Structure 1
Amino acid sequence: MDRPKLKIPSMVKDPVLIEKRRRQIVDAAVELFIHKGFHRTTTREIAKASGFSIGTLYEYIESKEDVLYLVVEAIHGEVERRLREALCDSKSGIEMLKEAIRHFFKVMDEMQDSVLLMYQETKSLPPTHLPYVLRKEEEITGIFEEILRRGIADGTIRLDESQVKLMAHNIMVMGEMWTFRRWALRKHYTLEQYTERQIALLLNEMASESSKEPIRKE
């Protein structure tokens, strides 16, 4: 079931035009935020880079924080879209997992500046906006949970159900680490080397988990 999105107010009523103009705003804002930072970028600069007057900009958003939310939402949407490209009903759970990890790490590499921006500036969102962003993070993590459970069901992944959520978060962090620790990791690994070694570590951990007794619930 789709969860409700945060509705950003607009003076314009045409939804097609709103989507088109906000796409322009997001594209312009991403470049500005990456190079100048959120706080040092003005709404006037965003308007100019979008090809609008400042008055026109405020027909589509109410604040610079709204722009930041739209930027984060767009980045999340692209990450999720490209991750779901790896899902295929004809694959076993373990093959789907490996393919999804490769897709995810590749996306983290290709969108590294945008991803870094998203995590650095999310703290600047107002309390009304932040829960929607965190919910989207959970939904993307949930894709890996679904894949892990598929593998458990078809017998290609050996993992206790109590470990599924933690393993899904581990995968997310491994992908994000390629962005956050790129200054160090790239001295020693190519993206392909990093990806395959992390997959090997994960599969080894799953094999180890299968030999352990299930964790008792108190």
Structure 2
Amino acid sequence: MSNEQVISSVKDSYLVEKRRNQMIKGAIVLFKEKGFHRTTTREIAKESGFSIGTLYEYIRTKEDVLFLVCDAIYDQVRNRLESATDWDNPSVAKLEEIVASYFRLMDDMQEEIIIMYQEVKSLKQESREYVIKKERDMVAMLERMFTACLPETIDEQDVSLLANNIFVQGQMWGFRRWMLQKQFTLEEYIERQIHFLKQSLSTDHMQNEKTDQTP
């Protein structure tokens, strides 16, 4: 969690993290029900289990709470990807595990993801740019994983596009759940997306081999 972006008058880092996690959970419930603009800081404090005075010991504005929600989402994505990655033994099979783990996290966090994209426009420019940077960092992490796990014949531009595709496909499970979740279970969705990924990699690899063999 970024303590630099959101100022707190409390100096106990453990307590700051605990209270802010309570705020995040409470805010997500309210933002989902009422939206960011119709939710008040007093309601966030009540949903979080403490007084409005206590709330303002850990944040300055309601926008700070939205920023914390966005920041927490990307922290969880980063932690999930890092815990699923084995840099010492990269392979296509390991990449499949990473992608599946990411999709399952997006299922767990689909409400948070939807709220973030609906409400990120409410952040000030500096905070909005920070959130966008965090998203770029997540895609860059996927790019590094693809580079480590895939054949060397996959070029840098394709790796970038593949990483962005996977990033969006994970979020799409929540964005289009009104349709997708009526047609697929989560595991079916993961299996089909990984199938298409492997199919794409196999096609690209074969095309590159043919190009290399051309006189």
TM-score (norm. length: structure 2): 0.89
**Which consecutive residues of structure 1, in runs of 5 or more, have no partner in the other structure?**
none
Correspondence list, 1:169-180, <5 A: 169-180=164-175
State the alpha-carbon separation in 1 of the partners of residues 153 and 132 from structure 2.
29
Deviation at 1:90, TM superposition (A): 5.2
1:122 has 2:117 as partner: no
Amino acid at match of 2:24: V
Deviation at 1:55, TM superposition (A): 2.0
1:109 has 2:104 as partner: no
**Which consecutive residues of structure 2, in runs of 5 or more, have no partner in the other structure?**
none
Q: In 2 relative to 1, CA 38–183 (structure 1 residues): closer, same or farther, beyond 3 Å? A: same
Q: Which residue of 2 is the match for residue 204 of structure 1? A: 199
Q: Which portions of structure 1, spanning 4 or more consecutive aligned residues, are displaced by more than 6 angstroms?
A: none
Deviation at 1:47, TM superposition (A): 1.2
User: 1:60 aligns to what SS in structure 2?
Assistant: coil
Q: Which residue of 1 is the match for residue 81 of structure 2? A: 83
| Sequence identity (%) | 46
Deviation at 1:187, TM superposition (A): 2.2
| Cα pair 1:96 1:147 within 8 Å, conserved | no
State the alpha-carbon separation in 1 of the partners of residues 3 and 160 from structure 2.
24
Amino acid at match of 2:44: I
Amino acid at match of 1:171: I
1:38 has 2:36 as partner: yes
Q: Which residue of 2 is the match for residue 13 of structure 1? A: 11
Amino acid at match of 2:62: K
TM-score (norm. length: structure 1): 0.88
Correspondence list, 1:51-200, <5 A: 51-89=49-87, 91-152=89-150, 155=151, 158-200=153-195
Deviation at 1:172, TM superposition (A): 0.5
State the alpha-carbon separation in 2 of the partners of residues 28 and 80 from structure 1.
22
Amino acid at match of 2:22: Q
Q: What per-residue deviation string (whole Å, max 9, x for no partner) do you get for residues 82-103 of structure 1?
A: 2222112454321121001100
Amino acid at match of 2:67: Y
Amino acid at match of 1:10: S
Amino acid at match of 1:26: I
State the alpha-carbon separation in 1 of the partners of residues 112 and 92 from structure 2.
29
- The Cα RMSD (Å) is 1.9
State the alpha-carbon separation in 1 of the partners of residues 96 and 153 from structure 2.
14
Q: Which is further off, 59-68 or 185-194?
A: 185-194
State the alpha-carbon separation in 1 of the partners of residues 203 and 100 from structure 2.
22
Q: Which is further off, 100-109 or 19-28?
A: 19-28
> What number of residue pairs does the alignment pair up?
208
Amino acid at match of 1:170: N
Q: In 2 relative to 1, CA 65–190 (structure 1 residues): closer, same or farther, beyond 3 Å? A: same
Q: What per-residue deviation string (whole Å, max 9, x for no partner) do you get for residues 18-54 of structure 1?
A: 2222122112111111222111110010111222222
Q: Which residue, out of 19, 24, 28, partners 2:22?
A: 24
Deviation at 1:184, TM superposition (A): 0.9
- Which structure's residues are more often helix, by fraction? 2
| Cα pair 2:87 2:148 within 8 Å, conserved | no
State the alpha-carbon separation in 2 of the partners of residues 190 and 175 from structure 1.
14
